[in-house]
Structure formats: C-alpha cells, structure tokens
Amino acid sequence: MAFDPTVSAVVQLATGRDHLTQQEIAKAKGHFTAAGFEVHAPLGTSFSIAGKRSLFERVFGQSITIDDETIGAVATVEGGGLELSTTSLPEELKAQVKGVSFMPPPPMVFADL
C-alpha cells in the first residue's frame, strides 16, 4: 500500500450504569495504546483512536477504504459501512466495548451563489 493515511475512529464503551470507573476506561484505552494507536482523552463513555490505515486493518482484520482523491474523505470498512468488527478484541474487552466506528461524513451545505 503506497498511500497509508492516518484515520481515526470512536470507541464507544458499553455501560449499564451512569458512568464507568477510571480503571475500566484506562483498561480499554491501554489496549488500544499497546496496539499502537494514538488514544485521546475520553468524553463520557467514548474516546477516539487514530492510526495508519494499515494499523486499523491489522488490528481489526478488515480492509479499510478511503477515497484517496478526496481531501477529508471518510474511512469505511469494505462494503461501505462505518462500524468496525470487534471480534478481534480480547474477550475481557468485548463486554466493555460497545462498538468502534468511523465518523460519518459531515452534511453537505451549499451556499447560494
């Protein structure tokens, strides 16, 4: 792969409570940090991860598609979806991670010219 752009995704943590403990959040963040992702501060029950497309493909076991010709193009999994498979996560994290997904494209706004 000649062009290996950096992409980011949001990790949504599963919770049946109002909040997660700092230890639970740290465990999830630690997994992604150890895998090689840049991990950002949590916001509520989610945090973002960033890394090269090849890192996402290796960790999640899915092909990632990006329109290399479009600046700000959205990353998708093969087939066009935004949700990454969590089957490759360690068993102890599967119950804690509700989902990992790429952000949808922003709405197109056209100004009257």
- Region 24-41: mean pLDDT is 94
**Residue 108 placed within a domain:** no
Question: Number of folded domains in the chain?
Answer: 1
pLDDT average, residue stretch 5-30: 85
Percent pLDDT > 70 in the chain is 85
Contact by Cβ (8 Å): 28, 45: no
Domain with 21, as residue range(s), is 6-101
Confidence at residue 37, expressed as pLDDT on a 0 to 100 scale: 98
Q: Considering the domain boundaries, does residue 17 fall inside one?
A: yes
Q: Is residue 113 part of a domain?
A: no
The Cβ-side half-sphere exposure at 105, using a 13 Å CA radius, reads 14
Q: Which of 17-21, 22-26, 60-64, 103-107 has the lowest mean pLDDT?
A: 17-21
Q: What share of the chain is helix, strand, coil (3-state, %, to 5)?
A: 25, 25, 50
pLDDT number for residue 113: 55
Q: Which tens digits make up the pLDDT trace of 63-110?
A: 999 876 766 678 999 888 999 999 999 998 888 899 999 988 777 666
* pLDDT at residue 59 is higher than 80: yes
User: In sequence order, what are the residues at sequence separation of 6 or more whose Cβ sits closer than 8 angstroms to the Cβ of residue 81?
Assistant: none
Q: Return the SS3 of 11.
A: strand
Residue 12 above 70 pLDDT? yes
pLDDT band at 54 (very low <50, low <70, confident <90, very high): very high
Determine the Cα–Cα distance for residues 9 and 100; give it in Å rounded to an integer. Answer: 7
